[in-house]
């Protein structure tokens, strides 16, 4: 039986995430009982992601819910990023198990259409930003402890323990000078 402090109020086996497309924020639940969300997003055998209980907000009014539907399918190509509260809800298995060995975190700044993203990128070996974007088959890269700012209205911010960013929409990836 779980200890009192381990209990959390949430739907078992499902994770709630904010999915961003170019014009919308879509909050919904994904079944992660069999596969973590990152693995589902990076699965190249399907172009779609099934999301239940979606609540839709226009990107310029992200707190307002303008529509809701019990079932939806999102086209992965058009998901620019996914924001999750907790890192463990978003990391893939290969990123979770033993992956911290030989890696380090670097602060990064990304631009994607309509947004700027700041956070930490887990890297290994030589610092090579091109490799981050080019190597590997994963479509979404995890930014840890990240914050998103709307480019035209920086007061609109989203924070997450992990932000999965679609590599195909990244305009620039930058790292600040080490202090």
Partner 1 sequence: MARILVIDDSADLLDMMRLILAKRGGHQVVLSADPADGLSKALADPPDLAIIDVMMPGITGYDIVRRLREQPQTAEMPILILTARGQPIDRETALQVGADEHMAKPVMPADLLAKVDELLARRRGAPEERAGRILTLLSLRGGVGVSTLVANLAVVLAGGTPDVVALFDMNPASGQLALHLRVKAERTWASLRDASPDPALLEQITIRHASGIHMVAAPFSPLYADRLTGPTVEAVLAFLRGRFEAVLVDAPPLLSSGAMAALNASDLVFLVLSPEVGAIQAALAALHALQGMRSRLFLVLNQVQEQPPLPMSAVERALKRPPDAVLPFEPAHRTALARGVPLALEQPQASYVQALHRMAVAAVERLAASTE
Integer Cα distance of 175 and 179 in angstroms:
12
Question: E strands of 77-127, at which residues?
Answer: 81-84, 103-112, 115-124
Tokens 């099934």 belong to 50
- Does 95 interact with partner 1 (rule: CB under 8 A)? no
Residue 4 within binding range of partner 1, rule CB under 8 A:
yes
Tokens at residue 32, please?
Answer: 């992660």
Instruction: Mark residues 103-122: x for contact with partner 1 by CB under 8 A, - for none.
Output: --x-x------------x--
Asked whether the CA dihedral 63, 8, 76, 51 is positive or negative, the reply is negative
Q: Among 22, 47, 50, 68, which residue interacts with partner 1 (rule: CB under 8 A)?
A: 68
Q: Which of residues 38-57 bind partner 1 (CB under 8 A)?
A: 53, 55
Query: In angstroms, what is the minimal distance from the CB of 130 to partner 1?
Result: 22
**Residue 111: CB atoms within 10 Å:** 15
Out of 7, 44, 137, 171, point to the residue binding partner 1 (CB under 8 A).
7
Asked whether position 9 contacts partner 1 by CB under 8 A, the answer is: yes
């Amino acid at each position: 039986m779980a200890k009192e402090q381990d209990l959390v109020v949430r739907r078992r086996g499902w994770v709630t995430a904010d999915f961003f497309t170019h014009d919308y924020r879509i909050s919904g639940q994904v079944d992660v009982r069999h596969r973590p969300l990152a693995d589902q997003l990076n699965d190249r055998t399907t172009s779609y992601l099934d999301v239940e209980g979606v609540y839709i907000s226009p990107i310029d009014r992200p707190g307002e819910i303008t529509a809701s539907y019990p079932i939806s399918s999102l086209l992965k190509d058009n998901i620019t990023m996914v924001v999750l509260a907790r890192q463990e809800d978003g990391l893939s298995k290969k990123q979770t198990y033993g992956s911290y060995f030989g890696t380090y975190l670097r602060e990064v700044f990304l631009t994607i259409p309509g947004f700027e993203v700041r956070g930490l990128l887990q890297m290994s070996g030589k610092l090579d930003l091109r490799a981050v974007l080019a190597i590997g088959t994963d479509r979404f890269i995890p930014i840890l402890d990240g914050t998103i700012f709307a480019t035209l209205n920086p007061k609109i911010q989203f924070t997450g323990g992990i932000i999965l960013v679609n590599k195909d929409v990244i305009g620039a990836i930058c790292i600040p000078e080490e202090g």
